[in-house]
Structure 1
Amino acid sequence: MKPDVSVIIPAWNEAGTIEQTLCHFQAQAAHRWKEILSFEIIVVDDGSRDNTYQAAWPWVDKMVRHRRRRGKGAALQSGVAEARGELLLFLDADLQATAGEALVLIEPLLRREADMAIAKLPPSGVKAGFGLVKGLARRGIRRLSGYETEAPLSGQRAVRADRLRELRNFARGFGVEVALTIDAACSGMRIVELDVPITHRETGRDWHGFLHRGRQFAAVGFTLLSRWKERKRTWVSSDRSSI
């Protein structure tokens, strides 16, 4: 039987968290939607060096394995290629006990009120960065698409499969969510953002945290530059065709 919802979880070295994420998600899905919706769970192991594959295997319907790390965008693309559901739900692998809270994201899609729903996570309880990555992402999304977002970096989102497949390929690395929001808004998709009490692993103000955010800042900047160049080519082509 074709599933109603395909849950796609990209994972890289998440052996310590993914089993709890899958276990809690399945429990909540069975509790809330057992008689109404059917789910398939797809995990994409993006070249992990630990036991992510073995930890996830007993809990999933499909397992995709990359021989080497290709980035989050490529992992999502591989998951979408395997998905059969009319709705797609993207989740991070480290949500653990809060994974089931993401189910609220499919509700506006079921009511046909939106084509994409994005989770707004609660404020962090850990002193992290200074908001530079989030600020860059918000400004870039607004300038390139006109869409005002409060959750530009959220990886927890639901989208109609048919509308998603109208878009271009996923961006690579940490810029994938930013590009996805820009592409969705520019294509006319109806986007909603919902407060969802999800928590996941966070980086602090240590060397590892600053290095992670530095890479994230560079990836978001590269994604915005790539999308800007594509939009510019479209504008130039449009101007020439109107002459």
Structure 2
Amino acid sequence: MKPYLSIIIPAWNEASTIPNTLQHLLNQADLIWGTEMRFEIIVVDDGSVDNTYDVAWPWADKLVKHDRRRGKGAAMQSGVAKARGDLLLFLDADLQATAGEALVLIEPLLRREADMAIAKLPLPGAKAGFGLVKGLARRGIHRLSGYKTEAPLSGQRAVRADRLRELGGFARGFGVEVALTIDAVRHGLRIVELDVPITHRETGRDWHGYMHRGRQFAAVGLTLLTRWKERKQVWFSSDRSSI
């Protein structure tokens, strides 16, 4: 039976970027696979106040709309609930002309060499921040799982659907990718990271950029704290059971 891929794209106020993203994604998928693979595109509009939903529908196979903004993790979960594929590919909505490059993430899964593949993106063209969020995420993932990652915040990742369901639900907010990597390692998923020439909107060094980085730093910190508490509870339960 042909592999079935579900491409899940969470989106919030991405009306200016998502049509281009979806168009390039479809064109590249048809060029690479033709009739060799079945795939569907699922867009989850996470309570946008622009017309993201309207401009996405000509290109998407399935559309989900939240009545209010619930966060990226909730949008990813809604997409998984609608997915039929045995392989899942999560992509950001603002990749535009580079969206099709992410399809390479499926290859290690098809070869059964990995359960999850994460995209390592090129360095940004300009300094967008001080690297504090990425550094915190990288160190936290290593401390809590033993896995050394070069792409702790990457939202572009492919995963086998059956292995993803072993992990339970997604974390909330900006910490969703960090939690997903920690949970995957803890459950024994084989992870690979691939260099992929993807570009998306960069966060600048203006006030909006600093606020975004601040929220992201706080969310990643909270995610790491939550996963640390969960690990302590497991250790405590194990110690008590051995008494």
Q: Tell me which interval the TM-score lies in, with the shorter structure as reference length.
A: over 0.9
* Cα deviation, residue 34, structure 1: 1.2
Please give the TM-score of this superposition, normalised by the length of structure 2.
0.99
For residues 67 and 3 of structure 1, what CA distance do their matches in structure 2 show? 33
Letter of the aligned partner of 1:215 in structure 2?
R
Paired residue for 1:169? 169
Is the counterpart of residue 60 in structure 1 residue 60 in structure 2? yes
The alignment partner of 1:92 has SS state of coil
RMSD: 1.1
Structure 2: gaps (5+ residues): none
Paired residue for 1:95? 95
- Pair 1:128–1:201, CA change in 2 (3 A): same
For residues 6 and 195 of structure 1, what CA distance do their matches in structure 2 show? 22
1:127-153 CA-partner distances (Å, limit 9, x unpaired): 211110000000000010000000000
Paired residue for 2:240? 240
Conservation of the 8 A alpha-carbon contact between 2:173 and 2:219: yes
Letter of the aligned partner of 1:135 in structure 2?
G
1:64-110 CA-partner distances (Å, limit 9, x unpaired): 01000000000000000110101000000000000000000000000
Paired residue for 2:195? 195
Letter of the aligned partner of 2:179 in structure 1?
A
* Cα deviation, residue 223, structure 1: 0.4
The alignment partner of 1:200 has SS state of coil
* Cα deviation, residue 35, structure 1: 2.5
* Cα deviation, residue 220, structure 1: 0.2
Please give the TM-score of this superposition, normalised by the length of structure 1.
0.99
Conservation of the 8 A alpha-carbon contact between 1:114 and 1:191: yes
Q: How many residues align?
A: 243
* Cα deviation, residue 2, structure 1: 8.7
Conservation of the 8 A alpha-carbon contact between 2:72 and 2:174: yes
* Cα deviation, residue 218, structure 1: 0.3
Paired residue for 1:141? 141
For residues 219 and 138 of structure 1, what CA distance do their matches in structure 2 show? 14
Paired residue for 2:76? 76
The alignment partner of 1:208 has SS state of helix
Alignment of 1:92-171 (within 5 A): 92-171=92-171
* Cα deviation, residue 3, structure 1: 6.6
Conservation of the 8 A alpha-carbon contact between 1:18 and 1:94: yes
Conservation of the 8 A alpha-carbon contact between 2:2 and 2:36: no
The alignment partner of 1:89 has SS state of strand
Paired residue for 1:33? 33
Structure 1: gaps (5+ residues): none
User: What percent of counterpart residues are identical?
Assistant: 81
Paired residue for 1:215? 215
Alignment of 1:3-18 (within 5 A): 4-18=4-18
For residues 127 and 206 of structure 1, what CA distance do their matches in structure 2 show? 12
- Structure 1's consecutive aligned runs of 4 or more residues displaced over 2 angstroms after TM superposition are none
